[in-house]
Structure 1
Amino acid sequence: MDRDNRVETLSEAECLRLLGTVPIGRVVYTEHALPAVRPVAFEVGPDGRLLLALDAGAAVARALDGTVAAFQADRLDPVTGTGWSVLVHGRTETVRDAVAHGHPPLPAPRPTVPAREQRLVRLAPELVSGHRLLPAVRPVRIS
């Protein structure tokens, strides 16, 4: 941890634990040879894989079948200037017949994607990194 810049590096286990505390993150993928970012509802499975809820008809759902993608989520407090950010890279795969495999529909970001139009994509983490932004340390003043 470097107190000068207030940033602490997080372990992979802590990153996955923190991801489980927020319902929405951002998936980063390639669209027309350019990086694209989309907010998505997600959950962290017991095996550490992420399950992303996407609109089945959206281009992102098709783009994330069998590709490498990144996923980022955070929780930052603008008042205290503290929080955390986690970044996950890995291979994605569409979950075929999700309900039959025990995956009920996930709550989706606004606008709501009805369950019948939802496609679940699993992201298997290969690289996981995260950082916590700590409170500023005030210098001690000696009179």
Structure 2
Amino acid sequence: MTHYQEPSHRRVDLDQDEALRLLGSVSLGRVVFTRQALPAVRPVRHVLDNGDVVVLAHDAAALAPQALRSGDEGVIVAYEADAIDPDTHLGWSVVVTGYAQLVSDPAELGRLYELSWPEAAVEGGEQAVRIHPELVTGVLVTESGGAARAAR
């Protein structure tokens, strides 16, 4: 009888700088927020801007109106992005938790669109939401005994 044995993996906690560097290496992630008192998750595009995570959400998404209603402070959200190999299960995951606010300044929106999402300015209907990180955690999963290496 053959038994399947899970490959030996090692988990390495990342410091904030490395976690944010990895987050900046991908453009898609998931924003987690509360909708009608229940957790909700939406896939969105993101970019790092001066240490903040800025996500692009269609106006039909619940996050943008939620951030708009909450006033100056914003609403607490989590943002997760990763690069995990589906076969080996090796890679990394980063979670940012912080206050989200709708980006309403037209000049700032224009700058973000031009730098990161030029097609959004043409498509219309997209809103940017800025998440100021209060807590950043990240984990790198590598092979045991091997050198820790991230997708670079």
Q: What are the ranges of 5 or more consecutive residues in structure 1 without an aligned counterpart? A: 139-143
In the alignment, what sits opposite 1:61? 64
TM-score, normalised relative to structure 1:
0.81
Contact 1:55 1:113 (C-alpha < 8 Å) held by counterparts: no
Query: 2:127 is matched with which residue: 119, 124, 129?
Result: 119
> Which has a greater percent of helix?
2
**1:51 matched to 2:54:** yes
Distance of 1:40 and 1:107 partners within structure 2: 12
Deviation at 1:135, TM superposition (A): 1.3
Q: How many residues align?
A: 130
Q: Does residue 88 of structure 2 align to residue 80 of structure 1?
A: yes
2:79 to 71, 80, 83: 71
Note if contact 1:29-1:64 (Cα within 8 Å) is conserved in structure 2: no
Q: What's the TM-score, normalizing by structure 2? A: 0.77
Report the CA distance between 1:123 and its aligned residue: 0.1
* Deviation readout 1:58-117 (Å, 9 max, x if unpaired): 32211233101000000001233210000000001100034x122216449xxx896421
CA RMSD of aligned residues (A): 2.3
Which runs of 5 or more residues in structure 2 are unaligned? 1-7, 69-73, 147-152
- CA-to-partner distance for each residue in 1:105-140, whole Å, 9 max, x for gaps? 6449xxx896421100000000000000011449xx
Q: 1:70 to 1:113 in 2, by over 3 A?
A: farther
